[in-house]
Structure 1
Amino acid sequence: MGHPASTYRLQITPTFDLDAAREVLPYLRALGVDWVYLSPLLQSGEGSDHGYDVVDPTRVDAARGGPEALERFSSDAHELGLHVLVDIVPNHQGVQVPRENAWWWDVLRLGQDSPFEPVFDIDWEAADDRIVLPVVGDDDMPTGPGAPIGHVRVFPEEGELRYYDLALPLAPGSADDVIDAERDEDGAVTGHDAMRVHDRQHYRLIHWRQGDFRINYRRFFTVTGLAGVRVEDEHVFDLTHAEILRWVREGLVDGLRIDHPDGLRDPRGYLDRLAEKSGGVYTVVEKILEPEELLPSDWATAGTTGYDALAEIDRLFTDPDGRPHLDEIAAKRSNDDLDDWRSLIHYTKRQVTDGPLHSEVFRITRELVAAGVDHPNIVDAVSEVLSYFPVYRSYLPEGESHLELAARQARTNRPDLAEAIDHVFPALATPGHPAAERLQMTSGMVMAKAVEDRAFYRYTRLTSLNEVGGDPSRFSLRLSRFHELQQRRQAERPAGMTTLSTHDTKRGEDVRARIHALSEETELWAESLRELDEVAPISHGPLANLVWQAVVGAWPASRERLAEFAVKAAREAGDRTSWTMPNAGFEKELRRAVDAVFDEPVAASVVSNVVDALRDAGRSNALAAKLVQLTLPGVPDVYQGTELWTSSLVDPDNRRPVDFSSRIAALEAILQGARPPVDDTGAAKLLVTAAALLLRRGRPELFTSYEPVQASGSARSNVIAFDRGGAITVATRLPIGLERGGGWGDTMLHLPSGEWIDQITARQYRGGWPVAVGALLAEYPVALLARPS
């Protein structure tokens, strides 16, 4: 079977279940797709549209079709020659509604005596052998010593304690002495009698704001409803993977995508065990790599899910000459002195370690103290080291250099902590030490919450670069460096994924492609922002820059979608409003600014003018990025629906249903010979996608190496071209500058000798001497050349 030629990601939901997905398999086959890549399928929480909150890992989600639907889907896919890749979630389980997760319910009921207690990553000693549940609202907190928590009710006959709609189990016998207590109209024991029962449970209800400091089970980042799983325990691995391995064993599934391996105690050991028990099926990991960071070479995986490739491609289509002016625009709009990316992320990381993830810092320090390592400033020292981690996670002993760098920068920034850092560093750098393992598990949480979910919404110079796996301070890539990185990918991870859009990207690929073009229209952008400040003011300068870039990038879009994005972005940024302390006045201001684009002619005209100026360049960038991604070394993934133009923004906007009927009709026309123009329909993008996928699947021998193809002439820097071993990609860069310079002119491409056929236009070319780029790209801004079969 080997590895895929390509994958196509489908979001399986209760409204687009496995049987609905089965209906589009013939279309995917015709498109050129090789493997179908499915979002999580195990039983998730009721109403979940993403599937990452698994509540029962022993069965296929009934709302997604159940096991019979998976069998039908797999059978039809295989009959069409398509293989199946499934996303799995080993790091955590959903516990938002305890009754839905039988294992969690049993642990709440029996505590450490539950046979499922080893499944969850709980620090019992930190809370007097109880699980801390931060669920109590402001109005229900005890009014004084010994006062009860409001709305806590006990139903002895049903074996439940309830706080509003939250039902929790009672420990056996814990309510026996209140059977005859006074009841309310619903038959519940309340008040002090209910609190006496509460105090006998294996859990403790606390105020929701105390959770960041007192919670004692590992969460997925800061999500209280997702509890960490101890999959490093072989028994737990077997429990949580029995159903997944059945899929593999019975041939229902051919490959696996591993969600968030950085959250695991031992990612390398996990992947080794998975490879052994799955027979070594094709496996990729959702591992976020920082620029220049390499995936550990001894991991049993084909590679990452492709965010590293996304970051490289994005920077190929930004104009380095636009950087100084965009820097100036951002600096003038800044509200503070955190314009420097490194200073900003250190600040946001400390916000996270001192706030939402402080309980995880406490857990690291408890491990240190338990091992005899203590210091008066130990918490501050660990937080400071975490705030300087240069990558999501280090893997000891290979990653000790990352830890050393973090410690060195922490000492420099906080000389008052140097002694404490020196004291704790040896333990943190010792492979296998509990504190070292916990630090590694936590550093990725800090990076994700502080950078992806906070700094990305504060650093607004060019927001198309604010994407998972990318460093926004890195503005562009030289062509020569881009080629070097792809040659490295070909040599080291040729079967890892590449991507442009996922269910987690902050902005869809075509939105980013249009925003990239702002790097070539900086004067227009500066003037447009000045006008928007007057007619649709947003009092926070950086956020205004971010919101208006999103509006321009996604236009046309509904006011509801744009307003929801603006409010979410502001809450993620966390400096004028937040998820936990919403600022109703500021959020109203944001919605009013978005409304102005629809209701005020001047605001509408400003946005329309920018969109008109960027539209053609954005489409050129989008087609070029798509073809480059689909033909680079690696396995290209197409996120559902992105074979046509997509104006998606951050989730849940990027998980909207896909209209496959329009795509099926457009593909039928293309396969019958249509060559659609580059227009609003997006059919040109579908043509490019189909051409690349069909060639990769049909003639894999043309994609076995990577060599740059050199261009000469006045516009040589505006073309990227590379030969994959018989398939040559040619794509336009920086199209606005190209047009201003007079077009392609004397620019030539030096094709290898022989006959070449453009898979997009069917035109033929003879290599061996220079070919005019203007002729190659006369109809579309891209070409895909292949030798005749």
Structure 2
Amino acid sequence: MRAPASTYRFQIRREFTLFDAAEQVPYLKSLGVDWVYLSPILTAEQGSDHGYDVTDPSAIDPDRGGPEGLLALSRAAREHGMGVLVDIVPNHVGVATPVQNPWWWSLLKEGRESPYAEAFDVDWDLGGGKIRLPMLGSGEDLDKLTIEDGELRYYDHRFPLAPGTYSEGDTPQEVHSRQHYELMDWRRADAELNYRRFFAVTTLAGIRVENPQVFEEAHAEIGRWFREGLVDGLRVDHPDGLADPGGYLRWLKDLTGGAYVLVEKILEPGEVLPGDFACEGTTGYDALADVDRVFVDPAGQGALDALDAELRGTSEPADYAEMIRGTKRMIADGILRSEVLRLARLVPESYGLPVEQAADALAEIISAFPVYRTYLPTGAEILKEACEAAAGHRPELAVAVGTLLPLLLEPANPIAVRFQQTSGMVMAKGVEDTAFYRYTRLGTLTEVGADPAEFAVSPEEFHHRMRRRQEELPLSMTTMSTHDTKRSEDARARISVIAELPQEWTSTLNTLRELAPVPDGPYENLLWQAIVGAWPASRERLQGYALKAAREAGNSTTYTKPNEDFEARVKAAVDAAFDDARVNKAVEDFVARIDAHAASNSLSAKLVQLTMPGVPDVYQGSEFWERSLTDPDNRRPVDFALRQEELARIDGGTMPAAGTEASKLLVTSRALRLRRDRPELFQGYSPVTAADAASAHLLAFSRGSGDGSPGALTLATRLPAGLEAKGGWHDTAVELTVPMRDEFTGASYGPGSVLVGDVLGTYPVALLVPVDGENA
């Protein structure tokens, strides 16, 4: 199996096609990248910027370059000795515009007789033989249906007519009543939908790739990529939504001839990938969480907890475990109630559980789940513990929970299969998309794949996790920014400084709250941290983020019931950052206060991610500062020409100043080139310790192999504000067993004791490589 030394993620869309990506391959080669990593490229909903709403899995999207574009990209990669990794979406397809999706159009037209009826996961009995489509603005909108060109129309929406269901003189409402679908008020979807979807997105319908025929048809084009040598590996989107992720991955390995495969699997702290997963690892959120936390000052937790309690008007800070139990239960009872009710309907009548009681118990079990899902028989103990917790929290449900547990433990039982698919949906919506916007003491911590209750990680614990990663998942991806991160890497690096200066942040926040108040204290903390993390940013970007964050949190306003007064206050607060000189000064003064420390964190985190065990990914453009907020902000266009020019200047001998965007490009390019060109320097993992009072500010490790061969040595600064307060490194030193040279400055050191202050005199990071006769 061919595996990458590193990857670089491109967001492929109409404005940046596969042909455009092909043109950037020489730049990626110069940057040091080993493989090109592409967002989904199969035909998607027209105008889709992300591509996860595939409408036709049989063809590459013409708007993204079509098959000719992939051929051009693949040829460019081959010419430069690079591989190609592609993101695929097996769990669902896009159905927002039925006519664009031939499978969905056939289902609506022919119902259960459609050749694609087995592809979709529909509870036909609930709908009386019809599939329910939550498309109407209200129940009265059936009066607005029309018949045009042999189709049923609702404004711009088009729906097919089953053969023989329309005669001249029939009203649109009569024709509608004869179809295999029922158009209904969109508000009914929460509790009455009868098809599986992606999370709560009704325009993304789940498909049953556990069916061999469905798998074959959905993956025919993907198989061609490997038969023709166009692609080398795959990233699998949301495998937790599948009925049988393990079986799916085995089929995928067979289809691709054993190619490199990664899964977008969220591992909760302590969780490991199931042993039967035929893949090389995850897409790296677990690595991101570890890297972030080793650069967070644990000493700041007390003050930030106190601030959180003050903002909430309570004596104690938010209890995260209790919060997510509540948000998950809210989701299970709200936007995903239709999924929970479908589970409840699968309980045999002989068990004597009314549907409502079964749904209550199932929602309580899911709310107690500590992970996204089980993979029975793997994870049976987790399921049992969740049932115990549910019964303990709701004693009146203990009998119902006990009745359900045997059913949920049977791997082949339909309710057990569907329960596993559902628990992750509730977790994602209740935690990532709700609690992460409510638990606001430090924005760095609320990132996908992380446990925000874990405030910081010590260097010792970090080393322990990296040794385990090297032993268990050496080919798993590592990342710092993605198309899904709530805040990208350099925004988080800035926010992390707040943990070192919590009193200064409290003072700044109080000023901002006084000058531009929003009547929701925890939200204000989240908002102003985000603004500081992204600054300078356009008004439009910050307004978009502020509104989305407020509605996702759902405390003071929501998507379905917007609080106009509250949202006006939010808009005014963001405007004040630009229009009120006092607010603008407070923001800019705090950014200026922390910016050097933030740059140190950014370079340190980036170097650690690029040199730690695993396959590092660089998200498009993040070789410069990447201070984006949540999507769509993190999918903005990238100025590749500017990056190429800056890289050429560096390669021409211009040393960038510390703290500049170019310094991050220097670190990124040198680390990537070394990983690609000298893989023998990255074969193991050993912590490197230093002596003296400032040693706690150094994170250092060697990637030398276990046989004693020297490897690349990473030196990174942590907690830079505290280091500055101590007056610098003083006589902190590390021992070098062989002569070494810094890839960033070219300076040579050792062997023997070397002062850290000397090595990190130019940049807050160093990447040392052994000097021998060949590379001296």
TM-score under structure 1 length normalisation: 0.96
Matches within 5 A, 1:265-414: 265-334=243-312, 339-369=318-348, 372=351, 374-375=353-354, 377-414=357-394
Q: Which amino acid aligns with 1:700?
A: P
Instruction: Specify whether residues 164 and 484 from structure 1 end up closer, same or farther in structure 2 by C-alpha distance, changes over 3 A only.
Output: same
In 1: Cα distance, 2:283 partner to 2:337 partner: 30
Residue 757 (structure 1) aligned to one of 732, 741, 760: 741
* 1:217-236 map, 5 Å: 217-236=195-214
Offset from partner CA, 1:172-211 (integer Å, 9 cap, x none)? 10113xx135xxxxxxxxxxx2212111110011111110
Are residues 1:688 and 2:667 paired? Answer: yes
Matches within 5 A, 1:87-98: 87-98=87-98
Report if the CA contact (8 A) 2:54-2:93 is conserved: yes
2:156 corresponds to 1:165: yes
Per-residue CA deviations over 1:203-233 (Å, capped at 9, x if unaligned) read 0111111101010110100101000010000
Structure 2 CA distance, aligned partners of 1:766 and 1:673? 24
Q: Which amino acid letter does the alignment assign opposite residue 747 of structure 2? A: R
- The 8 Å contact of residues 713 and 747 in structure 1, kept in 2 or not, is answered as yes
1:249 aligns with one of 213, 227, 234: 227
**What is the rounded CA distance, in whole Å, between the counterparts of 2:221 and 2:423 in structure 1?**
31
State the identity %: 53
| 1:140-219 paired onto structure 2 within 5 Å | 141-142=139-140, 149-155=142-148, 158-176=149-167, 179-181=168-170, 193-219=171-197
User: What displacement does 1:154 show?
Assistant: 2.3
Q: Does 1:75 align with 2:59?
A: no
Deviation at 1:297, TM superposition (A): 2.0
CA distance in 2, matches of 1:200, 1:314: 56
**Counterparts of 2:259 and 2:423, CA distance in 1:** 29
Question: Structure 1 residues 267, 373: CA separation in 2 closer, same or farther (over 3 Å shift)?
Answer: farther
**3-state SS of the aligned residue for 2:81?**
coil
Provide the secondary structure at the position in 1 that maps to 2:265.
Answer: coil
Q: Deviations over 1:445-482 (max 9, x none)?
A: 00100000000000000011100000111000011111
Q: Match for 2:561: what amino acid?
A: M
Q: How does 1:480-629 map to 2 (within 5 A)?
A: 480-629=460-609
Shift of the 219–371 alpha-carbon distance from structure 1 to 2, 3 Å rule, reads farther
| Aligned-partner Cα distance in 1 for 2:20–2:145 | 43
Cross-structure match for 2:770: 787
Q: Kindly report which structure 2 residues correspond to 1:635-646, keeping only aligned pairs within 5 A, or say none.
A: 635-646=615-626
Q: Which amino acid aligns with 1:307?
A: Y
Contact 2:305–2:317 (8 Å) recurs in 1? no
1:372 Cα shift? 4.8
> Which residue type is aligned with residue 272 of structure 1?
R
**One-letter amino acid matched to 2:698:** V
Secondary structure, aligned partner of 1:729: strand
Find the aligned partners of 2:220 and 2:412 in 1 and give their Cα distance.
27
Which residue identity lines up with residue 572 of structure 2 in the other structure?
Answer: R
The aligned residue for residue 53 of structure 1 is 53
Name the counterpart of 2:238. 260
Q: Distance in 2 between matches of 1:578 and 1:246?
A: 44
Taking the aligned partners of 1:318 and 1:338, their CA distance within structure 2 comes to 19
2-side partners of 1:638 and 1:321: how far apart?
Answer: 31
Residue 786 of structure 1, CA deviation: 0.8
2:210 match: secondary structure: coil
Cα distance in 2 for partners of 1:317, 1:574 equals 30
- Whether contact under 8 Å (1:36, 1:85) holds in the other structure is yes
- Looking at structure 1, the residues matched to 424 and 651 of structure 2 have their Cα atoms a distance apart, in angstroms, of 45
Secondary structure, in 3 states, of the residue corresponding to 1:124?
coil
> Matches of residues 638-717 of structure 1 in structure 2 within 5 Å?
638-680=618-660, 682-717=661-696
Aligned to 2:754: 771
Q: CA, structure 1 residues 440+371, in 2 after alignment: closer, same or farther (shift >3 Å)?
A: farther
Residue 186 of structure 1 is matched in structure 2 by none
State the Cα distance separating 1:750 from its structure 2 match.
2.1
Alpha-carbon distance, 1:289 to partner: 0.4
**Whole-Å separation in 2 of the counterparts to 1:234 and 1:585:** 53
Task: Please say if residues 5 and 697 of structure 1, whose CA atoms lie closer than 8 Å, have aligned partners that are also in contact.
Answer: yes
> What does residue range 17-166 of structure 1 map to in structure 2 within 5 Å?
17-138=17-138, 141-142=139-140, 149-155=142-148, 158-166=149-157
| Aligned-CA RMSD value | 1.2
Q: Distance in 2 between matches of 1:31 and 1:110?
A: 52
Deviation at 1:369, TM superposition (A): 2.9
Q: CA 1:239/1:368 → structure 2, altered by over 3 Å: closer, same or farther? A: same
Q: Is the 8 A contact 1:248 1:254 kept in 2?
A: yes
In structure 2, C-alpha distance between the alignment counterparts of 1:653 and 1:773, rounded to whole Å: 38
Alignment CA distance shift 1:722-1:371 (3 Å): farther
Q: What is residue 726 of structure 2 aligned with on the other side?
A: 741
Q: 2:306 touches 2:317 (CA, 8 Å); kept in 1?
A: no
Q: How far 1:150 moved relative to its partner?
A: 2.5
- Could you tell me whether the CA contact under 8 Å between 2:600 and 2:659 is conserved in 1? no
For 1:52 and 1:373, locate their aligned partners in 2 and report how far apart those are by CA, in whole Å. 41
Counterparts of 1:770 and 1:477 in 2: how far apart (Å)? 27
Question: Displacement, 1:335?
Answer: 5.8
**Which stretch has the larger CA shift, 374-383 or 628-637?**
374-383
2-structure distance, mates of 1:218, 1:234: 19
Moved more, 515-524 or 370-379: 370-379
Distance, in Å, in 2 between the alignment partners of 1:713 and 1:161 is 77
Letter in structure 1 aligned against 2:397: L
Residue 373 of structure 1: how far off its partner (Å): 6.2
**What is the CA-CA distance between 1:534 and the residue it aligns to?**
1.2
SS of corresponding position for 1:711: coil
Give the letter aligned to residue 516 of structure 1: S
Q: Shift of residue 586 of structure 1?
A: 1.2
CA displacement at 1:371 relative to structure 2: 7.7
- What residue identity is the alignment partner of 1:519? A
Once the 2 structures are TM-superposed, how far is the Cα of residue 391 of structure 1 from its aligned partner? 0.4
Q: Which runs of 4+ in 1 moved over 6 A?
A: none
